[in-house]
Amino acid sequence: MASDSPRAFNFSAGPSALPEEVLRQAQADIWSLHGTGIGILEHSHRGKTFDKVLFETFDALRKVSKLGDDYEIILMPGGATVQFALLPMNFLRPGDRAAFVDSSIWTRVAYEQAVKQVPSEYIWSAKATNYDRIPKPGELPDCSKYAYVQYCTNNTVEGSQFDGPLDVNAPTICDASSDIFSRPYDYSKHAVILACAQKNLGPSGNTVMFVRRDWLERSNDISPILSFRENAKAESRLNTPNTFGIYLIGVMCRWLLAQGGMDAMGKRNAEKAKVVYDAIDNSGGFYAGTAQPWCRSQMNVTFRIANHALEQRFIDEATLLGLDGLTGHRSVGGMRASIYNAVPLKACVALADFMREFQRKNG
Ligand SMILES: Cc1ncc(COP(=O)(O)O)c(C=O)c1O
């Protein structure tokens, strides 16, 4: 049943690589789940078989996140951008102001969704340096006047990454879409944590939300389908949810736990990132990273070739060798190797070898 055709090393930024074990499990469960003779795509979202899938996904998410019962887990449709729009609707009241740390395109997208609804401000921006950095301690203002401050842990586009929770004197909302569960991180420092699934958690179109219960309890009374509180009350199946997405997030989280959870992933991802960054740093200027070395991402390694004219050749030759998805984000160009949890060390080694060989031939 399972296909054995060759697979490429997938460096795509999302949707992105999934572990082989997860894909093989999904292949089997699409045919017949738990011996029912009915596949996961065909089971009713109200049936007993799906009940088990749903509760196992909640359970695995709680274990891997290390968050306690003071957080509700909600599986929302619509990707991260939809949640960006729902956050102000759910949590802000007349007179409230929202603040954003402008360290990546994704906080700008979040700001644009919020500013149509409530007064919203940037409290810091990396725009002047082409988004190559995050704020250093002491660079953020007093935030006591804001209802919340939203930031993005990992800049998927320009490749910078926070090394710990944002430290401000206001509740924080954390967009962890592109580095969730990739290293030890204290998620309990936030009021809300959200992550679209298509990088470290599974298929696109699904978003995992962890919301502090006290926030949910005092959230606004809005249309039920847009309300985090009502979705939580209905166990994330107020209407027909993306059952396959919920299933696959569970399989991914159990795979993560079997690898050793966030701690083990952190060690593995640091080793993987070092292999690729070493190829950049030891290239004598042939390659240049686009993020500042002190805050560069372990998930999205972004780089340019000093002679930009060689970049398309680099991408084309890499693709022919089975190193896929290396094109930089359309807004910035260059190259990007997304090395999420599911990307193995051997893919990073193959990429670094290719980078050295390409430099030898073209340097
Ligand atoms: C950090 C981050 N936040 C949000 C998003 C947007 O996610 P979606 O396309 O699911 O709305 C992305 C997508 O790449 C992302 O990298």
pLDDT per position as a tens digit, 4-31: 889 999 999 999 999 999 999 999 999 9
Degrees, nearest 5: CA angle 219-197-205: 80
Q: What are phi and psi of 186, to 5 degrees?
A: -85, 85
Which amino acid does the sequence have at 246?
I
Q: Quick one: 298 and 324 in the same domain?
A: yes
The confidence score (pLDDT) of residue 137 equals 87
The finding on whether 196 has its CB within 6 A of some atom of ligand 1 is yes
**C-alpha 349 chain-centroid distance:** 23
**Which residue stretches of the chain have pLDDT < 50?**
1
The CB of 79 under 6 Å from ligand 1? The reply is: yes
- How many domains does the chain contain in total? 2
Show Cβ contacts of residue 129 under 8 Å, excluding neighbours closer than 6 positions: none
**Active centre residues (catalytic):** 106, 175, 199
- Full domain range(s) for residue 297: 261-362
The amino acid at residue 104 is S
Q: Considering Cα of 314, then 317, then 321, then 323, what sign does the dihedral take?
A: positive
Q: Are residues 164 and 49 in the same domain?
A: yes
Residues 173 and 70 reside in one and the same domain: yes
Evaluate whether 297 touches 276 at the Cβ level (below 8 Å).
no
pLDDT of residue 308: 96
Examine the domain organization and report whether 252 and 297 are in the same domain: no
Mark whether 194 and 279 lie in a shared domain. Answer: no
If asked whether residues 218 and 270 sit together in one domain, one would say no
Domain boundary among 259, 282, 297: 259
From the list 273, 293, 292, the residue with the least C-alpha distance to 126 is 292
Q: Name every residue whose Cβ is closer than 8 Å to that of residue 112 and which is 6 or more positions away in sequence.
A: none
> Cα of 193 to ligand 1 centre, how many Å?
13
The predicted pLDDT at position 2 comes to 53
CA nearest ligand 1 atom 2, residue: 177
Rounded-to-integer distance, Cα 135 and Cα 149, Å = 14
C-alpha distances out from residue 160 to 50, 99, 111, 179, Å: 39, 20, 19, 11
CATH number at residue 288: 3.90.1150.10
Check whether residue 287 and residue 230 sit in a common domain: no
Q: Is the distance from the beta carbon of residue 178 to the nearest atom of ligand 1 less than 6 Å?
A: yes
130 is a domain residue: yes
> In this predicted structure, what is the pLDDT of residue 262?
98
